[in-house]
Amino acid sequence: MDLIVRNARIYTDGIEMQGDLGISGGRVSAIGNLGDDAAEIVDAAGHLVFPGLVDLGVSPLAENGCVQQTAQDFSTLTKMALAGGVTTVVSAVSFDSEKPFADQLGEFAAADTQRAWVDFGYHMFVRQWGLDARESALSAGSSGVCSVWIARTDTLSNAPGLALVQSVVRDLPESMMAVVNPTDAVLEEHFRTQLKSENMQGLSSRNSLFPEAIEGAVLKTCGAIVRNSRAHILVNGVSGERTLRELEYMRGQRYPVSAMAKLPHLIFATERMTEETQTPDSPSFPCVWPPVRRRRHQQRLWGALESGLVSAVTSAHHPVGLKQATDSATDSLSAAEGCNGIEHLLRLMFSEGIAKWRIEAETLSVVCCADPAKLAGLYPRKGSLQIGSDADFLIFDPGRQEDIRPLQGAACFDYYAGHPCAGAIKAVYLRGTRVAGEGADTSAPRGAFLERRLALA
């Protein structure tokens, strides 16, 4: 064998195992008492071993105009992912529906492979829907891009707010997945106009921009749309109690729907949003969608992860700069939305979830690894440490205590800076090669484009 991780306390697929992890040819080849027959042996005694995390919610091309400007942006994104133990990202990409999809995909994948530090795939980002976009989506499905990310802003003229979702879902085949937001553009604009007229534009009033009760009502309406959908639906960013109740009903009725929680909703709560903590020159709460909710909604969300009602967690990594962050403190209705987090995903999930007894370590291995990989169409190659899986894993030290510090070289504003955190990542491996931590090979990017095939019941 190439590598044996000895005395490993392994968490994968919702179970805990104690033993040695054997790696050969970049894949998991054995688990058990493996002896010393390997080119390299790493002692993981006292540490935890998780599969590499899979993040489906990376959106550098989201609706707020924060687009990827340069080739270096993707390199920075994947470096940040690697620092946080995320070894696979699926990112939104805007394709031109008037050009051959396969040609564009080949160009994007070839360029990004040269600068990717982790493995990656794409969502097809959809702002509008027509015959050309439909043909592109069908080409995407046969080319290994098996999901479409539907823009939050509805661009269909003279149509209800969920018309874009309805149009896309109606046309997608069962081999595709649609990533949708629990929102309605018409209602959102109504609340935005109302708050502006009342001069309520600070971040403390942002929760009124889209109340939790409205979010739940929108998801109920969305349920009627997706009930007979052939495609699987991933609701990105459930945040409140009523929303979770509607999700529970849809799951009970066997609708083809899953849900994903965003990291900011698990960390931030409006009770801590005061004038002292949210000043224009030092903003401490991000502008995200849906808005940050109250603590009782947050606690319910943690419970939904533990129970399996919510399948996955995303960092919702969508970085903003210092000016965008400070603007959001005074004019949260117009400011660009966004928050970093991919580099902190594992540590915050461990510190706020496992260390505070909100979820078990086994649950983390499901919601951050196995289930996102299944939704991405990559399981069990990714998100698991089974025999034959890619040897993407991390060694985590639960005993270290240190505050979060901004990642050097990242230009985004870090809302999590200074947050006390339990545990630290000791090493990250990508297909059997140590790519982060002491002794890591950082000579060149090693990420690869992943063709995905969806197989969800």
pLDDT for 414 equals: 85
- pLDDT of 86: 97
DSSP state of 40: E
| DSSP letter string, 186-246 | HHHHHHHHHHHHTT--SGGGGGGTS-HHHHHHHHHHHHHHHTT-SSEEEEE---SHHHHHH
Q: What is the DSSP string of 391-452?
A: --EEEEEEEEEEE--PPTT--S--TTTT-EEEEEEEEEEETTEEEEETT---SS----B---
pLDDT in tens, 17-57: 999 999 999 999 999 999 888 899 999 999 999 999 999 99
pLDDT in tens, 265-305: 999 998 876 545 555 555 678 888 888 899 999 999 999 99
pLDDT confidence of residue 67: 42
Structural domains in the chain plus CATH codes: 3-49+388-437 (2.30.40.10), 52-376 (3.20.20.140)
Q: What are phi and psi of 166, to 5 degrees?
A: -60, -45
pLDDT for res 121: 95
Q: What is the pLDDT of residue 404?
A: 85
Q: What is the DSSP letter of 292?
A: P
Q: What is the pLDDT of residue 75?
A: 86
Q: Which residues of the chain have pLDDT under 70?
A: 60-72, 154-161, 273-283, 408-411, 457
Strands (E), 67-187: 86-93, 119-126, 147-150, 177-180
Dist CA 192 CA 26 (whole Å): 51
Kindly state the tokens that stand for 379. Answer: 């399981």
Query: Which residue from 376, 255, 357 is spatially nearest to 306, judged by alpha carbons?
Result: 357
C-alpha torsion angle, residues 322, 326, 331, 337 (rounded to 10): 40
Rounded distance, CA 292 to CA 307, Å? 22
Supply the angle between the helices 295-307 and 241-252 in degrees, to the nearest 10. 20
Q: What does the pLDDT look like over 49-60, one tens digit per residue?
A: 999 999 999 876
